[in-house]
A and B are shown apart, each in its own frame.
Chain A
Amino acid sequence: MSARYFGAAVARVEDPRLLAGRGRYVDDAVLPGMLHAAFVRASMAHGRIRNIDASDAKGMPGVVAIYTMADFAGIAQGAMPPMAPHPLLPTPITYHPLAVEEVCHVGEAIAIVLADDRATAEDAAAAVLLDIEELPAVADAVLAWKAGAPRVHSKRPSNIAASLKAGFSDCDAVFAKADHVLTERFDIHRGGCHSMECRGVVASVDPHSGVLTLSTSSQSPYMVRRHLATYLGRDESEIRVMTPDVGGGFGPKANVYPEEFAVALAAIKTGRPVKWIEDRQEHFVATTQQRGQVWTLDVAFDNDGRMRAIRGHCIHDNGAYAPYGLILPATALASFPGPYALEALDLTIDVVLTNLVPTSPVRGACRPNAAFLLERLADRIARHLGIDRQQVRRRSFVRADQMPYSTGMKARDGSPISYDSGDYIAALDLVLDKIGAAGFEARRAAAADRGKLLGLGIASCVEDTGLGPFEGASVRVTPAGKVVVSTGASSQGQGHRTAFAQIAADALGVELNDVMVETADTSRFPLGMSTIASRIAVTAGSSVELAAQKVRAKAIAFASHKLEVGEQDLELEGGAVRVKGVPGMNVSLSEIARTLAGNVGISLPGGMEPDLAATAYFNSTALTFAYGANACEVEIDPETGDVRVVRYVVVHDCGKLINPLIVDGQIRGGVVHGIGNALFERMIYDEAGQPLTTTYADYFLPLASEMPPIEIHHVETPSPRNPIGVKGAGEGGTIPAAACVISAVENALGSNAPFIHLHPISPQQVVKWLERTASAAKA
């Protein structure tokens, strides 16, 4: 068998439907008797609910019901189960489906309004009278962290939800011996996350089976099922969760949300289907956000630029609830030491509650933060020593001859973290070559002639991918000879159908369009986890391969029996098992599948098991580490402070590429995400926790018009840790991008400009920095 599809830039099979507007999203669902929901939400960041008066609103024409949590007393009560329990968080901090007693951030859902249409529901929601006693709120994690700060939850004695530690070796000893020590403070902004499709859910109770059925725009349908079952005290078989086409996830949709529960409860209570579609206003106040952190770090290094040890402390802005436990801050710690071969590390993160929307993993989770910190420190060391930035990297990176390399860190299960493969210095060399670093000073001079400041940025990263334990897959050949791949991994537009079909088509010798891929319907496949952490290609992709190989083996065994030919002389091609070199001697997959589907009274040949099908769960026991080196050029208008990224080059190694087209799309989108973090996206709250940037006029998502050409070069170092040699690619574009852009900005501003310790930066800051630099030069 040759790999005809695996590795080929096959056009995505999803696209003809999606691009022609034939996608079917949650909002396309129309069920008989369906009600439309709108939520009454908190308008203040912290308050005690004294009374909810919906009497007028209930009387409005078209309004069917308005429920608070108390109305669901006969069905279920209490706070939602935690998605990721953590020993350091003994009392989970989860939402109630609808707020009880207290609201802790603007946007928290208080009541659900059900009406004949959404506009009516919104009219009624506005007419619900809330009597809420305002309590002191704290909107800034550093303030919330300090003793004596207002309490985010009145019943929790401290705003510090947990303190996490990570590290290895004796940090103080390494610091004592190092040639230099520097201390820097970093401020990484929280930001939002904006998939094109907002969240949404339709819930109904099947009148025949009584099964509660949800169609939801989620990355984690099986988690929704599991936690809803726990909450409702039902068996998982009594709940079906589907994800139809989903217009982007990027992390926030991995959470199980109060609205999903509230809509399900409302459907149970009314006995009618209920639809809720999150609008963009709600998205700004009710969907989890990114990764605000304030770090103080010491770095120890030698005269030649070698980075030896890092120690420090972080204040992590958790927001008001921790539906996802401590996953995000834990990921921040787990992302160290990146590509750097440190001798010691000692980090503490205080997870701090604030009266803001919760933060949870968003593309990269906190890996972009770690990359920003490490790359900023490397640049800082170079400035301090007056050496080239790349020298710090060359002298500090893990070398190829050290692979597999144990970093000193431990995985979640306590096993040592070990980088499997890669050549970080070669990747840096390649990206410097591709961007033409050697000719950069000439380009800088030419830009200066035009009155512009040109800067070159570099940033590298290592990304843990393929988080276990599994996503499974089944592969089945139908009597018509078509191949059906089924998996629990939900798709949000990543091209799973194409990639899985490529793997299965190669294994079974069929055409791509002979493969149908079913994803994310809990009634179709028994188990699933989440489409997160760049894990699906590794986990589900490997399972598709393993299952397809089992099917292949079975087809060959069948054909060997039927044709009386040794298995070694058989191959799969053109939808049939063929005898090598003997045209015409073959058995079609269709015939095998039809035979194995059984005929009454006729025994199966060779005592074979029924069905030409197999299921596999690839057990991903060790992470596999993708890596990348990025370089970019920015051009600054010193008069306006405008920063424009003019070139961006990515060198990326995510092991073997299933489909370069898809990987390119992932990386390109990821880079844009990171540029947004570096230069544009700012989620602003006032001191009372009121969000001030809740439309796209105020919240600057990056637009195509501001994006540079993004050039991508792949290096393929196969992962030894899974059968298809792949590593994840979903986040590698984002992780180093903000660090790379900021590195370039600092480089453009010149060696006398201030060290940049934050992002996003703004044009007015750039103007200030230039003024300060100019006046310092005069003095």
Chain B
Amino acid sequence: MKAPPFQYHRPHTREELGALLASLDNAKILAGGQSLMPMLNLRVLAPDHLIDINRVPELAGIRETVDGIEIGAMTRQADILASPIIQARLPLLARALEHVGHIQTRSRGTIGGSCCHLDPSAEQPAICAALDAEFVATGPNGRRVIPAADWFQGLLQSALEDQEFLEALRFKPWAKGHGYGFAEYARRHGDFAISGAAALLEVDGRGQITRTALLVFGVEPAPRRLYDAEAALVGQIIREIALAPIIDAARALDPMEDVHVTADYRRHLAGILIGRALREACSSLERSQ
């Protein structure tokens, strides 16, 4: 379990990073290393070059902007979880991060690393999809902003081009006091979830749902928004939500199978978990009102 040979590079600025990416073939970016290092040691990957971006300080940090919140790609999960800004304005992200690995791994792991690796069970990209985050990518032709809907290109496949790197994630927080809920099931705490779900809610003064996001992840190769169910939910009264069609929507997906888990069980869980996430979102809404 030793990595195959590679050449190691350590840029200190975005410009150095961009120049390395532009000049090197078969290069891989090393962020927090929580997925990449095991993959290297298992020799699943054999890049010729490893570009370590842990010393590019401008890639890390949480900023409030006029439009919302920007999180640098190299921001550690532990820092996001501890951030009062995130807790106040993106509580769903903080809620989900509790399930990401363990204290030790969260101290290294980065949100950008997880969003570029795109494990189907990963919580952070899933929450990005639920929050319609924007992915800020930088490449030889400058900067471009990729909406969440376009970021997910398939199993372990993001929209990032070869010579691009992910610079930051932009979020538009939902209204103050919005409802949020998260549920996942893993055999052991910190494991990749077998399935998970997230729900966001905004209501008007009469308790009528004005806006919602419903998402399941770990079921298909990429997180899946339940857009039809969301549309049907808007306009319902929070205390009288018709849950059955939402559960049906979660169970209408085409789940993956693995050595431990059948598609049927994932389908079953997806229904249970979206229900739990939605109920949690409703009760968080009640608590905040």
Contact = CB atoms under 8 A, between A and B. Distances in A.
A705 B260 contact: no
Contacts of A122: 1-2, 4, 43
A764 B192 contact: no
B260 A762 contact: yes
A697 interface: yes
B269 A706 contact: no
Contact of B1 (A281, A698, A767): A281
B2 A767 contact: no
B189 interface: yes
Contacts of A692: 259
Interface in B1-45: 1-5, 38, 42-43
B228 interface: no
A280 interface: yes
Contacts of B3: 119
A123 B43 CA distance: 10
B261 A764 contact: yes
A680 B189 CA distance: 13
B188 A123 contact: no
B265 A703 contact: no
Interface in A434-473: none
Contact of B185 (A281, A640, A682, A693): A640
A693 B1 contact: no
Interface of A is mostly: loop
Interface in B256-281: 259-262, 264-265, 268-269, 272
Interface in A669-716: 680, 682, 684, 692-693, 695, 697-698, 700, 702-703, 705-706
A684 B259 contact: yes
B5 A123 contact: yes
B190 A705 contact: yes
Contacts of A279: 1
Contacts of A764: 261-262, 264-265, 268
Interface residues of A, number: 29
A706 B187 CA distance: 9
A164 interface: no
B188 A706 contact: yes
B204 interface: no
Contact of B191 (A118, A280, A697): A697
Contacts of B268: 764, 767
B87 to A, nearest CB: 23
Contacts of A697: 191-192
Contacts of A206: none
A764 B185 CA distance: 12
Nearest to B194: A763
A639 B259 contact: no
Given A692-B259, A698-B260, A705 B189 contact: yes
Chain B contact residues, majority secondary structure:
loop
A640 B189 contact: no
A692 B264 CA distance: 20
Interface residue range, chain B:
20 to 34
Given A280-B1, A703-B188, A706-B188, A698 B265 contact: no
Nearest to A117: B2
A180 to B, nearest CB: 37
A697 B101 CA distance: 11
A764 B262 CA distance: 8
B187 A680 contact: yes
Contacts of A680: 187-188
Contact of A700 (B5, B188, B272): B188
B1 A763 contact: no
Nearest to A126: B43
Given A118-B2, A123-B4, A126-B43, A763 B187 contact: yes
Interface in A96-135: 118-119, 122-123, 126
Contacts of A762: 260
A27 to B, nearest CB: 13
Contacts of B43: 122, 126
A719 B91 CA distance: 60
Contacts of A511: none
Interface in A521-559: none
- Which of B187, B269, B272 has the most chain A CB atoms inside 10 A of its CB? B187
A642 interface: yes
Nearest to B119: A697
A319 to B, nearest CB: 20
Given A123-B5, A639-B272, A640-B269, A703 B190 contact: yes
Nearest to B265: A764
A767 B195 CA distance: 15
Contacts of A281: 1, 42
Given A123-B4, A692-B259, A764-B261, A640 B272 contact: yes
Nearest to B275: A639
A74 B198 CA distance: 67
Interface string B165-189: 0000000000000000000010111
A140 to B, nearest CB: 15
A639 B269 CA distance: 8
A119 B259 contact: no
Contacts of B259: 684, 692-693, 698
Given A281-B42, A703-B190, A764-B265, A119 B2 contact: yes
Given A122-B2, A281-B42, A703 B192 contact: no
A121 to B, nearest CB: 8
B264 to A, nearest CB: 8
Contacts of B260: 682, 684, 698, 762
A642 B183 CA distance: 14
A281 B42 CA distance: 8
Nearest to A38: B2
Nearest to B183: A640
Contacts of B42: 281, 695
Contacts of A703: 188-190
Which interface residue of A123, A639, A680, A767 has the most chain B CB atoms within 10 A?
Answer: A639
A771 B2 CA distance: 46
Contacts of A698: 259-260
A705 B265 contact: no
A642 B188 contact: no
A705 B265 CA distance: 24
A700 B187 contact: yes
A703 B190 CA distance: 10
A338 to B, nearest CB: 31
Contacts of A641: 265
A126 B3 CA distance: 12
A279 B268 CA distance: 37
A767 B191 contact: no
A695 B187 contact: no
A706 B189 contact: yes
Contacts of A684: 259-260
B57 to A, nearest CB: 31
A576 to B, nearest CB: 51
Given A682-B260, A762-B260, A764-B261, A705 B1 contact: no
A692 B42 CA distance: 14
Contacts of B5: 119, 123
A697 B1 CA distance: 15
17 contacts: A118-B2, A119-B4, A279-B1, A280-B1, A281-B42, A639-B272, A680-B187, A680-B188, A682-B260, A684-B260, A700-B187, A703-B189, A706-B189, A763-B187, A763-B265, A764-B264, A764-B268
Interface of A: 118-119, 122-123, 126, 279-281, 639-642, 680, 682, 684, 692-693, 695, 697-698, 700, 702-703, 705-706, 762-764, 767
10 tightest Cβ-Cβ pairs between the two chains A and B: A119-B2, A764-B265, A705-B189, A279-B1, A639-B272, A692-B259, A703-B188, A640-B185, A122-B2, A684-B259
Given A122-B43, A700-B187, A764-B262, 18 more contacts: A122-B1, A123-B4, A126-B43, A280-B1, A281-B42, A640-B185, A640-B269, A680-B187, A684-B259, A693-B259, A695-B42, A700-B188, A703-B188, A703-B189, A762-B260, A764-B261, A764-B268, A767-B265
